[in-house]
């Protein structure tokens, strides 16, 4: 039976800008993406039901015949997995009004099914963890690291630390995959597990407090301070001070500077001494830009930092105000605080923005991806072109009549 993780039409828009470039289930929270969590628990391949323009990169797999469709925003545990597996043909599993999963005789239009409902429904035994808003990613990260850690390490033996100059607290809560290199670091897993993925590296003087997930091929740089509830996605590099944040993968925050209560997409780079504010001076709940609402909305959270979409970059000494949202493919530089909503494909900073044109975007993406031995191929280009067109309405300066657009020459 095919397993299809679908983008809930009521949730996907609230997870922009990250879902501009991936299905909901491809988001990483904890050690694994949502899709990887389900794949591990169901012990079979999973596929995506997502936007048409994303299907070249995230295919639906075999269509036709019986299918188990699962909400891509829902993070599984053992109990939920058993309930989903126990569904009979024609049955749906609900958490209140939220469709969690359904067993279909044949995969059909999920949006219509959500709207029309199911005749035969069952209620979940316990409320599910669903990533319904962008800030839910970092809010749930610590708990998901713990849950993924238990899932991935059960019945397995960790590799040894292998370094006489590394200080370890609560070694039973540390799991090291093959190929990991650690040098003169402090690993404190007393308050949560530490997972070091295959071929990752922890460099001299790094201080790591769990929960922490360092995914395959990633580095924690010299002297870094990882304050807990952090995920460093695959093939990323992190330095400075980081707290309760996620780098989805292939991104760098290599230097000093603070990143807190934040989510950074793939192929991003934060210049040296970039800092994010995650707490307002008046301690009020943070508001952030909502792509779905088209306005700023309250997170209800006292702490909320930076949400940065894929392929965005910022220069040295960039200062991001509390609750800043940066779209896809933006390039930010210059002194002062830039605005708290920076549309996709923006070029500039506090002095103002122009459009970061697609030829320049492609030029940068090709260079960046080549550094990881990957190609900015036609599939990637088509996704970026679609997002560029879909986000044109956000670049309000493009609507100015007769405005002269400066030539982009900055490197």
Cβ-based neighbour number of residue 22 at 10 Å: 25
Q: What is the pLDDT of residues 343-372, one digit of tens each?
A: 999 999 999 999 999 999 999 999 999 999
Mean pLDDT for all residues in the chain: 94
Q: Is residue 130 part of a domain?
A: no
Question: Residues 261, 307: one domain?
Answer: yes
Q: Is residue 140 part of a domain?
A: no
pLDDT at 114: 63
Contact criterion met (CB below 8 Å) for 409 and 363: no
pLDDT class for 32, splitting at 50, 70, 90? very high
Question: Residues 184, 321: one domain?
Answer: yes
Residue 398 makes CB contacts below 8 A (sequence gap 6+) with: 355, 392
Question: Residues 165, 119: one domain?
Answer: no
Contact criterion met (CB below 8 Å) for 68 and 103: yes
pLDDT class for 109, splitting at 50, 70, 90? low
Question: Residues 180, 293: one domain?
Answer: yes
Question: Residues 200, 57: one domain?
Answer: no
Question: Residues 186, 274: one domain?
Answer: yes
Q: Is residue 30 part of a domain?
A: yes
Contact criterion met (CB below 8 Å) for 202 and 185: yes
DSSP code string of 163-203: -TT-EEE-GGGEEE-TT-EE-S-EEE-SSS-EEE-TT-EE-
Q: Is residue 358 part of a domain?
A: yes
Residue 58, domain CATH: 3.90.550
Task: Tell me: pLDDT of 115 over 70.
Answer: no
Question: Residues 317, 224: one domain?
Answer: yes
pLDDT class for 399, splitting at 50, 70, 90? confident
Q: Which residues pair with 75 in a beta bridge?
A: 129
Q: Is residue 153 part of a domain?
A: no
Residue 261, domain CATH: 2.160.10.10
The span from the CA of 137 to the CA of 130, in Å, is: 10
Question: Residues 49, 174: one domain?
Answer: no
pLDDT class for 119, splitting at 50, 70, 90? confident
Q: What is the pLDDT of residues 306-328, one digit of tens each?
A: 999 999 999 999 999 999 999 99
Please tell me the total count of domains within the chain. 2
Q: Is residue 63 part of a domain?
A: yes
The span from the CA of 281 to the CA of 249, in Å, is: 31
Q: Is residue 132 part of a domain?
A: no
pLDDT class for 334, splitting at 50, 70, 90? very high
pLDDT class for 212, splitting at 50, 70, 90? very high
Task: Tell me: pLDDT of 214 over 70.
Answer: yes
**Which of 63-72, 237-246, 384-393 is predicted with the least confidence, judged by mean pLDDT?**
63-72
- In terms of residue numbers, what domain contains 315? 159-371
Q: Which two tokens stand for residue 250?
A: 């292939």
Q: Is residue 33 part of a domain?
A: yes
Question: Residues 68, 211: one domain?
Answer: no
Task: Tell me: pLDDT of 116 over 90.
Answer: no
pLDDT at 409: 42
H or E segment and range at residue 161:
none
Q: What is the pLDDT of residues 278-303, one digit of tens each?
A: 999 999 999 999 999 999 999 999 99
The span from the CA of 390 to the CA of 20, in Å, is: 9
């Amino acid at each position: 039976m095919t397993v299809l993780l679908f983008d809930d039409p009521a949730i996907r828009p609230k997870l922009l800008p990250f879902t501009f470039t991936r299905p909901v289930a491809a988001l990483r929270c904890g050690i694994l993406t949502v899709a990887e969590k389900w794949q591990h628990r169901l012990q079979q391949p999973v596929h995506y039901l997502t936007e048409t323009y994303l299907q070249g990169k995230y295919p639906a797999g075999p269509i036709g015949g019986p299918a188990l469709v699962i909400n891509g925003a829902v993070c599984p545990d053992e109990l939920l997995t058993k309930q989903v597996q126990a569904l009979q043909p024609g049955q749906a599993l609900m958490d209140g009004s939220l469709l969690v999963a359904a067993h279909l005789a044949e995969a059909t239009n999920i949006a219509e099914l959500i709207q029309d409902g199911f005749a035969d429904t069952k209620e979940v035994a316990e409320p599910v963890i669903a990533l319904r808003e962008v800030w839910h990613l970092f809010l749930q990260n610590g708990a998901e690291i713990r849950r993924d850690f238990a899932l991935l390490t059960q019945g397995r033996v960790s590799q040894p630390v292998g370094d006489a100059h590394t200080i370890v607290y609560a070694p039973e809560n540390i799991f090291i995959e093959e190929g990991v290199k650690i040098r003169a670091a402090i690993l404190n897993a007393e308050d949560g597990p530490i997972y070091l993925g295959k071929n990752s590296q922890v460099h001299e003087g790094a201080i790591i407090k769990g929960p922490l997930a360092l995914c395959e091929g990633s580095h924690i740089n010299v002297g870094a301070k990882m304050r807990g509830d952090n995920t460093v996605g695959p093939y990323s590099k992190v330095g400075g001070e980081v707290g309760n944040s996620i780098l989805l993968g292939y991104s760098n925050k290599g230097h000093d500077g603070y990143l807190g209560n934040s989510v950074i997409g793939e192929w991003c780079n934060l210049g040296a001494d970039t800092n994010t504010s995650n707490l307002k001076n008046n301690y009020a709940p943070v508001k952030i830009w909502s792509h779905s609402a088209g306005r700023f909305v309250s997170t209800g959270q006292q702490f909320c930092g930076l949400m940065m979409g894929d392929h965005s970059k910022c220069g040295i000494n960039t200062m991001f105000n509390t609750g800043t949202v940066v779209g896809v493919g933006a390039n930010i530089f210059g002194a002062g605080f830039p605005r708290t909503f920076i549309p996709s494909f923006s070029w500039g900073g506090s002095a103002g923005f122009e459009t970061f044109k697609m030829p320049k975007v492609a030029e940068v993406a090709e260079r960046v991806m080549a550094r990881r031995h990957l190609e900015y191929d036609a599939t990637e280009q088509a996704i970026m072109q679609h997002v560029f067109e879909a986000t044109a309405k956000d670049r309000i300066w493009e609507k100015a009549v007769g405005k002269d657009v400066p030539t982009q020459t900055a490197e």
